[in-house]
Amino acid sequence: MPQKILFICSTSDFPNHTRRATIEAIGRQNPNARAVCLYSYWKKKTAKLNSASVQMGSYYYFIPRKLLRNPVLNRINHWCNLLFGSEQLHGYDYICFTKPDQYFLLPFFRQYKKIFTVSDPFHLMGSPENDVSKMLSHSDYVFATAKALADDYMPKYFGGRLKPSLSVHYWPNCVDTEIWNLERIVPTGRRQVGPKSSYRIGFAGNFIPTVDLNLLEHLARHFSGHRFILAGRNSLNPGSPEAQQFDRIIKMPNVEYKGLIPFNKLPQEVASWDVGLMIDSIDEFGRYIHHNKVYQYLSLGLPVIYQRNLTDYEQLQGPVYGADNPEEYVQQLEKVISQLQSGADFTAPAVALARQNNSDSRAKAFLECLN
């Protein structure tokens, strides 16, 4: 019989949840998978929990989330949930936690095997170190999206607090090919190829301190004859040197900043680009981030260029080009533009590579580790 798995999700809008595609893919392959969403009881009427592939449930914050650090209030909140029919919280083989701030549920799942998906260097991004430590120290399985998260981050910062029996698995990010689907945007499923006077070179992602703004500015100046499209939230501290540099970049004549584009409209925008950029800085933090955007770009037929701040992408053959420094990055982009000018069509190999790294393949890897 398939293992019974409960996924804990911190959202009241599951259709737009970042992990929806993977959880639904697991649900298609394992009918005993279920998801419970954590959100305020006062958002009950506006919550969107519909899914065609996985059974959904709710766990309410009757008490403000920040107060649940108090064990008495946490227990009261849990009793309220039991009274309101949260029987789906029990009877599982595995409980899968997806964020450090879900640690307050640990006392209620003592008898179950616990899984923690480590998608970021959480405590380096603002999550309290104690929250991350609690989740890791109680976990029986960890699924890490980057090799360095598993090999370096956890031993370096939490090594003495992990269970000796902890089972750690490298579980790379993926793409939802139902949404990031070129055929939905271009009926022929083929991109227009051939020489152009100017190519559209894009980056999709939030602008945070780990983005290499020096590289971005260098590229925009070097390739002044091409259009650079930037899509993502500006999360840089107002008035900081990084924010000032970003403001200078988006005022360049060949740069167009579109801000944060709704997730359901982003594929349409990215499909209009000719090249997709990955511009994480080469530093410790960047080594821990394995982005799904590389697969999103590929799924729409784009060639991709990235800085080699981690080894995860080395296995991606074909239209994925790594660079060790800004000079090599320029060379790689020049090579890609030259190929485009010569009529190169990256669509087929890019889409094939994305399909090898889609939600279904990721779900299969997850279930195989548990079995």
CATH classification (class only), 5-174+358-370: alpha beta
Q: Structurally, what CATH architecture does the domain formed by 182-356 represent?
A: 3-Layer(aba) Sandwich (3.40)
- List the one residue out of 67, 62, 316 whose CA is nearest residue 172: 316
156/180 Cα distance (integer angstroms): 36
Sequence length of the chain is 371
Give the model's pLDDT for residue 74.
Answer: 96
214/200 Cα distance (integer angstroms): 20
103/219 Cα distance (integer angstroms): 43
CB-side neighbour CA atoms (13 Å) of 152: 13
Could you read off the pLDDT of 60-116 as tens digits, one per residue? 999 999 999 999 999 999 999 988 866 678 889 999 999 999 999 999 998 999 999
Give the model's pLDDT for residue 87.
Answer: 61
- The reported pTM is 0.91
Could you read off the pLDDT of 197-231 as tens digits, one per residue? 999 999 999 998 889 999 999 999 999 999 999 99
Give the model's pLDDT for residue 139.
Answer: 95
- List the one residue out of 333, 53, 342, 101 whose CA is nearest residue 221: 333
292/18 Cα distance (integer angstroms): 10
Long-range contacts of 178-182 (CB under 8 A, 24+ apart): 178/21, 179/21, 179/263, 179/264, 179/267, 180/267, 180/295, 180/296, 180/299, 180/300, 180/354, 181/267, 181/299, 182/271, 182/299, 182/300, 182/301, 182/347, 182/351
Whether the Cβ atoms of residue 350 and residue 196 lie closer than 8 Å to each other: no
Residues of the chain with CATH 3.40.50.2000: 5-174+358-370, 182-356
Give the model's pLDDT for residue 86.
Answer: 64
Whether the Cβ atoms of residue 120 and residue 290 lie closer than 8 Å to each other: no
Mean pLDDT by runs of 10 across the 371 residues of the chain is: 88 87 95 94 89 91 94 95 78 94 94 93 85 93 94 91 91 92 83 86 93 97 97 94 96 97 92 96 89 95 94 90 96 97 94 94 95 80
364/47 Cα distance (integer angstroms): 29
